[in-house]
Amino acid sequence: MGASPVPPRGKVAAAGRRPLLLGAFLLLAALLAGCANGTYPLDFFYEMHYQQSYKVHEPPRVSVPTGAVPITGRALPTTENPVPGQGIEEGARLYAANCAFCHGVTGNGEDPVQQGPVLRIMRESYGYGTDARPYTITPDLTSQEVADLADVTIFGWITNGVTVMPPFDKLLTVEERWLLVNYIRTLQP
């Protein structure tokens, strides 16, 4: 009997390494492909990345002509009360419905209705009306400070709000706001 043919040692080792090296190379190639820039393997929110309405660095489709968009804001339509001294009864009704809760029934900001729900909360919880956070304007509509104001200033505060007072431009018409100004004038001495 003859000796069995045994391949030389170097060839066996090389033949055994070849699949290992090929597998390692394929694994490395797959890992590098997965690390490529800009890939989303699981695109959960695809609508945010590929939306039709906006693309990154896309210029505006239609440019606005110069001067077409006002940058100075709207001017107040009038600087004088268009209905001075009129509609006091209607102004009183509007005041009772919209203003008395905060400014009080008599407008002095200190009556029992006002002290309970609003001023107390504003002072205790938020510090308004204290030395640390003084009022921008006084809630006392009978004060000399308010009496010295122009009608259009009071109208502007009613329209746009001030400090913790909300704006009433969406709730009351322009005429109703002027009637409120007229009624507030009757509260002052």
Q: What's the whole-model pTM score?
A: 0.54
pLDDT of 35 over the 80 cut: no
Establish if 135 belongs to a structural domain: yes
pLDDT of 163 over the 70 cut: yes
Q: Which range, 13-22, 57-66, 82-91, has the best average confidence (pLDDT)?
A: 82-91
Establish if 52 belongs to a structural domain: no
Establish if 179 belongs to a structural domain: yes
Establish if 23 belongs to a structural domain: no
pLDDT of 145 over the 70 cut: yes
For residue 127, what pLDDT band results from cuts at 50, 70 and 90?
confident
Residues 6+ apart with CB under 8 A from 34: 41
Burial 59-73 (b: 16+ CB within 10 A, else e): eeeeeeeeeeeeeee
The alpha carbon dihedral of 149, 113, 164, 166 has a sign of: negative
Establish if 39 belongs to a structural domain: no
Instruction: Supply 78's token pair.
Output: 């009038």
State the CATH number of the domain containing residue 156.
1.10.760.10
User: What is the arithmetic mean of pLDDT over 76-105?
Assistant: 86
Q: Are 87 and 182 in contact (CB under 8 A)?
A: yes
Establish if 103 belongs to a structural domain: yes
pLDDT value for 182: 95
Q: How many domains does one find in the chain?
A: 1
pLDDT of 74 over the 80 cut: no
Average pLDDT of every residue of the chain: 76
Establish if 181 belongs to a structural domain: yes
pLDDT of 18 over the 60 cut: yes
Range of the domain at 136: 88-187
The alpha carbon dihedral of 130, 133, 135, 139 has a sign of: negative
Q: Is 5 exposed, middle or buried (0-12, 13-18, 19+ CB in 10 A)?
A: exposed
Q: Residue type for 77, please?
A: P
Establish if 169 belongs to a structural domain: yes
